[in-house]
Amino acid sequence: MPDMSASVSLAMTHLVPLAKEVDENKVTPGVLGFIVFAAMAVAVWGLMKSMSKHMGKVDFKEPADPEQPSAAGAPAKTTAPAPSTTTVTGKPSSTS
C-alpha cells in the first residue's frame, strides 16, 4: 500500500500554484449564485407558510379520559362505546 502522506504532499505541490493564480478580488458568486440563493429563500418561505397553515388546522385539545374521576370526586361512569357504523374511510358500512 503506498504511503498516503507522499501522495498528499505530491497533490499539494501541484494544487497550491493553481490556487495562487486565482485573484481573490475577482472571485464572486455571480448571478448564478444569487439566483440559487433567491430560489432557496423563496422555497423556505413557501414551506414555512404552508407549515403554519397546516399547523393552524391541528386541534390540540384532548378528549376527556372516561377513566379519570370527575371533578366532584365521584367516579365516572364507564360505559361501552356504541358500535361504529362507519368504516375507516368514513363512509357508512353496508350491512348485508
Confidence of residue 47 (pLDDT cuts 50, 70, 90): very high
Angstrom distance (rounded) from CA 17 to CA 20: 5
The tens digit of pLDDT for each residue in 54-74 reads: 999 988 788 787 787 665 555
Confidence of residue 75 (pLDDT cuts 50, 70, 90): low
Residue 25 pLDDT? 77
pTM over 0.85: no
Q: Which residue has the higher pLDDT, 3 or 23?
A: 23
DSSP assignment letter at 22: S
Counting Cα atoms < 13 Å in the Cβ hemisphere of 7 gives 4
